[in-house]
Amino acid sequence: MNFLLNDLMQTIASYMWPLYRVTSMLMVMAIFGANTTPARIRLLLGVAITVAIAPVLPPTENYELFSLGAIFITAQQILIGAAMGFVSILLMQTFVLTGQIIGMQTSLGFASMVDPGSGQQTPVIGNFFLLLTTMVFLAVDGHLVMIRMLVASFETIPVSDQGIMVSSYKSLAEWGAYMFGAALTMSISAIVALLLINLSFGVMTRASPQLNIFAIGFPVTMVSGLLILWLTLTPIMEHFDEVWQAAQLLLCDMLGLQCNVNGGF
């Protein structure tokens, strides 16, 4: 009887702890972790992925399921999955921040709508970049790459009370600085162009004070902003490829995976 009970507990553990890691990533991950995705769909997807990958995962050590150590193991699995999902959030927010910067500079930031991911009011240009990035992310199979990394992470970080290294969490926090830098890089051309437009309006006002700068400048700035936005979308794929490669390198560093120089897994 004890033999059968031990086998049963080992089978439950081989599915339960991978399920925690998978569902934690889906809970935080962009697109799947958004408020628009029902929790039931997210849970069923996590169960389906776990059932599919559990037979090929390394065997789990025989830990007591109802013990203090099992609580620490569960916490480590949740942290690993949440950290992986958070990287995809930073990836998406890089382009959302780019849209917000351009929107505020072009006076298009007054129009706002509810962000489907966070449920907060954000400028419509930021939402436009979010939807565009979401489609590109799905088109390049970014979600499948993250699932592959998740499966490979069980080889480098097996189910135990040892999780991601502290230095990796520091790298994850420092990637926030990269997010702001990448957003500024993508929007700097629009900022400079609009600065020149505003400077020209300042010269016009100085040369002819009778001109109503608010009546003339506001519509011209908005039309120019739409043109600049259109030109900004031209190199969007190059920017996404660069940021996505940096995100993959961060994931490889966190999980101890082998990635090539370009960030591919």
User: What does the pLDDT read at residue 16?
Assistant: 86
d(C-alpha 141, C-alpha 265), whole Å: 12
Cβ count near 1 (within 10 Å): 5
* Nearest residue to 144 via CA among 265, 36, 43, 18: 265
Cα gap 241→8, rounded to integer Å:
46
Residue 3 pLDDT: 58
Residue 186: predicted pLDDT: 86
Q: What is the 3-state secondary structure (H, E, C) of 82-93?
A: HHHHHHHHHHHH
Instruction: Go through 22-42 and write b for each residue having 16 or more CB atoms within 10 A of its CB, e for each that does not.
Output: bbbbbbbbbbbbbeebeeeeb
Using CB atoms within 10 Å of the CB of residue 126, give its burial: 0 to 12 exposed, 13 to 18 middle, 19+ buried: buried
pLDDT at 261: 55
**What pLDDT does 203 receive?**
77
DSSP label of 161: S
In Å, how far from its chain's centre is CA 56? 27
Helix (H) or strand (E) holding 102: helix 68-105
pLDDT beneath 70, residues of the chain: 1-3, 107-122, 210-215, 217, 261-265
CB 249 within 8 Å of CB 261: no
| Domain locations in the chain as residue ranges | 2-255
Looking up tokens 């700035």 gives: 221
